[in-house]
Amino acid sequence: MIIDKLYERVKERGFVCVGLDPVFDNLPKRFTDLGVCDGLFAFNKEIIDATADLVAIFKPQIAFYEAYGLEGLRAYEKTVTYLRDKDLLSIGDIKRGDISSTAKMYAKAHFESELRTDFITLSPYMGFDSIEPYLPYLESGDHGVFVLLRTSNPGAKDLEYLIQEDGRPLYYTVADKLEEMGKKFIGKCGYSSLGMVVGGTHSEEAIEIREKYKNAFFLIPGYGAQGGKAEDIRNYLADFNGGVVNSSRGIINNYKKYDDGDDKVGFYARAAVEAMKKDIFNE
């Protein structure tokens, strides 16, 4: 199952997830001179090649490609194809949340077409029938999903923290249902291919969440630029597995801190990954 492959990658290469969220207009000239499609892809490829042996998975956020129309989407397609060809794992960060036939088409697009990735992100807050159309792909063992649970943005408290009749925040109600749905997709590693997105910027309940949802593999955003601290992130992991920790800007824009950075994008991305791992490992 795909979750077993991800678990093994974390064991081999560590828990880092690199977010591939490039802003074309802000890239070094040697990339923008290539045009949108080739420039975005060349930037991503340099980062992928420089970090692949140190990270578990890569996560392109589709908005950073859709913003540039067809040329941007071609760059997204070239990026996820390159990852597949290199046997590198990917999360298509698409955050879809619709229902019925629309959700089926989203699933077909991101699990069958040239845009396909190993995992995608979903939003459950339209209802759990927004998740069900993706489940046949999980049954195949070839794909997985990460469903938004408790996110890292300040506005998470507008809805996700609403207190329910049992006295718990809404996100616990969501987690209970996702855990039940995910039982059908548990791999040999003990985790389900139906994972959860748990933001690393709210540390208060980290230990409780990890303890309560033992079979849930976490996608943990929020480290670095969004304020998530290493000591908090560690509480969401289980012996430094059971989750992947995403960093986007902190890795892909690290080159901007250095005078020679424009010429050494991959070099400084790798340095950022190494520093992130040391920080979370507390080395």
Dig out the tokens for 145 from the structure: 């999903």
Q: Please write down the HEC assignment for all residues of 138-190.
A: HHCCCCEEEEEEECCCCCHHHHCCCECCCCCEHHHHHHHHHHHHHHHHECCCC
The structure tokens listed for 75 are: 């760059």
Of 40, 35, 37, 38, residue with least CA distance to 21: 40
Residues belonging to the active site: 95
SS3 131: coil
What are the backbone angles phi and psi of residue 122, rounded to the nearest 5°?
-135, 155
Cβ 192 vs Cβ 182: under 8 Å: yes
Could you give phi then psi for residue 23, rounded to 5 degrees?
-105, 110
